[in-house]
């Protein structure tokens, strides 16, 4: 504990010195950086946030050759089996952004090294997944490693574009996205990395509207490869989260999808967009744009739809209960004879009821509309009756107080 406290105090001092600029660090930067690397390499879990911040502060005051020597060790951190906490993840991004600003001429090479490092990790994962002796053991997709690599490349180029005074461009990523029907494992790995990074660029609001890029990503939602299809759906959802007017277009393509997997991928993209904008950002203005697009699609559907749409509708009610709990309940009534639409809306309401962290406000709103929703237990359609009974069972199990005056 004393050692950790001393290290933390030392790193804090370095961060403080950095505020004074080159006068404080110009002669000390090289030695300080080597001590920081020792701390990072000696960390049994994710590198300390202070160490990553200190590294970022010292970068502008050391020689390129010094950073070049430790670049590979730094890049290997990205593929370590580490779950970065939010603060350390932010500090890691700040570090790579500082490296990109301080050494712009090295950005292309370091980006290539990160890509190569990720590709090797992905190919190792594919080998394990396809190995005959792993038929019973489920090998987990290295999502955290992919996140580290994608965010680091994005940060590198953000620093690069800033110091060069150039507008942000995603060309360094889009060149790795292709629509060839046959890809090697290495190609698939790079495509997944490019898609994950483009998704993060969308979240940061730096990815401009580009219809050709949207078409490319949407085409990959139809990929026969599970990993590419999943990453494409997520990237598409992140992009739609920044451009919510796109939801109707996603539904149109889902309706015309040549197969169920493609439609499922596009529905997943919708859920990603809703989770980000409504569930995380709590953006009520954008939520009000997205809700009618989803409801209109459901009301017009004449076939079964993936549960992801019901889950998306539930997110609205959970995030903004005063507005959307009532709207969700009224949508059930408004479905009329459209059994498929009614099933989706009741499923969404049941998803809402099953949430274990509902706010008091949300429970109050549910109590108001619950009699109307449960009245569907007497519906003429057996599927509606069954779902309504399941909804009642869910609330009895989770929040019996809300129903004691009804039944």
CA 284 to chain centre: 20
Question: Is residue 62 left, alpha or beta, with left meaning phi > 0 and alpha meaning psi from -120 to 50?
Answer: beta
- pLDDT of 230 reads 93
Cβ(293)–Cβ(254) below 8 Å: no
Compute the distance between CA of residue 189 and CA of residue 17 in angstroms, rounded to an integer.
Answer: 41
Cβ(111)–Cβ(83) below 8 Å: no
pTM: 0.82
- pLDDT of 148 reads 85
Q: What angle do CA 224, 226, 227 make, to 5 degrees?
A: 125
Cβ(48)–Cβ(5) below 8 Å: no
Enumerate helices (H) and strands (E) in the chain, giving the number of each: 20, 0
Q: What is the DSSP letter of 82?
A: -
Q: Which of 169, 193, 227 is nearest to 112 (CA)?
A: 193
Compute the distance between CA of residue 12 and CA of residue 42 in angstroms, rounded to an integer.
Answer: 18
**Greatest CA separation for the chain:** 82
Count of other CB atoms within 10 angstroms of residue 205: 9
Dihedral of CA atoms 203, 208, 211, 213 in degrees, nearest 10, equals -70
Instruction: Show pLDDT as tens, one digit a residue, over the chain (407 residues).
Output: 454 565 566 666 666 665 655 555 555 666 667 777 777 667 666 666 777 777 777 777 777 777 776 666 667 666 554 545 566 677 777 888 888 888 898 899 889 988 998 999 899 999 888 875 655 567 788 888 898 889 889 999 999 999 999 988 888 888 888 655 567 889 999 999 999 999 999 888 887 777 788 888 988 998 888 999 999 999 999 999 888 888 888 998 888 887 888 888 999 999 999 998 898 888 889 999 999 999 999 998 888 888 899 999 999 999 999 999 999 999 999 998 899 999 999 999 999 999 988 899 999 999 999 999 999 999 999 999 999 999 999 888 888 888 776 65
- pLDDT of 81 reads 44
Q: What angle do CA 233, 235, 241 make, to 5 degrees?
A: 100
**DSSP secondary structure letters along 217-241:** HHHHTT-SSHHHHHHHHHHHHHHHH
């Amino acid at each position: 504990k004393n050692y950790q406290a001393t290290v933390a105090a030392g790193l804090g001092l370095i961060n403080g010195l950095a505020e004074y600029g080159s006068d404080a660090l110009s002669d000390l930067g090289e030695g300080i950086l080597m001590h920081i690397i020792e701390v990072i390499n000696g960390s049994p879990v994710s590198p300390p946030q202070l160490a990553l911040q200190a590294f970022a502060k010292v970068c502008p005051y050391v020689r390129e050759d010094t950073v070049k020597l430790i670049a590979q060790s730094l890049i290997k951190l990205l593929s370590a089996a580490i779950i970065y906490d939010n603060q350390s993840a932010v500090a890691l991004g700040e570090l790579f952004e500082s490296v990109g600003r301080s050494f712009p001429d090295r950005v292309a090479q370091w980006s290539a090294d990160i890509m190569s490092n990720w590709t090797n990790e992905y190919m190792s994962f594919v080998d394990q997944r396809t190995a005959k002796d792993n038929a019973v053991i489920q090998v987990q997709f290295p999502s955290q490693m992919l996140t580290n690599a994608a965010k680091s490349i994005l940060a590198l180029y953000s620093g690069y574009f800033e110091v060069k005074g150039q507008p942000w461009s995603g060309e360094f990523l889009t060149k790795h996205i292709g629509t060839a029907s046959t890809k090697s494992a290495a190609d698939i790995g790079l495509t997944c990395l490019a898609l994950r990074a483009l998704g993060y660029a969308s979240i940061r609001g730096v990815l401009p509207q580009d219809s050709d890029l949207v078409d490319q990503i949407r085409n990959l939602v139809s990929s026969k490869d599970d990993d590419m299809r999943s990453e494409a759906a997520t990237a598409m959802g992140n992009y739609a989260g920044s451009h919510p007017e796109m939801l109707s277009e996603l539904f149109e393509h889902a309706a015309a999808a040549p197969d169920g997997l493609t439609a499922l991928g596009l529905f997943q993209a919708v859920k990603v967009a809703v989770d980000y904008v409504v569930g995380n950002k709590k953006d009520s203005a954008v939520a009000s744009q997205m809700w009618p697009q989803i409801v209109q699609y459901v009301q017009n559907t004449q076939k079964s739809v993936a549960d992801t749409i019901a889950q998306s509708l539930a997110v609205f009610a959970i995030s903004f209960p005063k507005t959307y709990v009532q709207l969700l309940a009224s949508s059930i009534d408004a479905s009329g004879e459209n059994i498929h639409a009614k099933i989706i809306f009741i499923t969404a309401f049941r998803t809402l009821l099953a949430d274990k962290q509902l706010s008091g406000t949300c429970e109050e709103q549910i109590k108001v509309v619950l009699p109307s929703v449960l009245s569907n237990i007497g519906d003429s359609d057996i599927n509606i009756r069954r779902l309504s009974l399941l909804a009642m069972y869910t609330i009895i199990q989770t929040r019996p107080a809300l129903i004691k005056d009804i039944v």
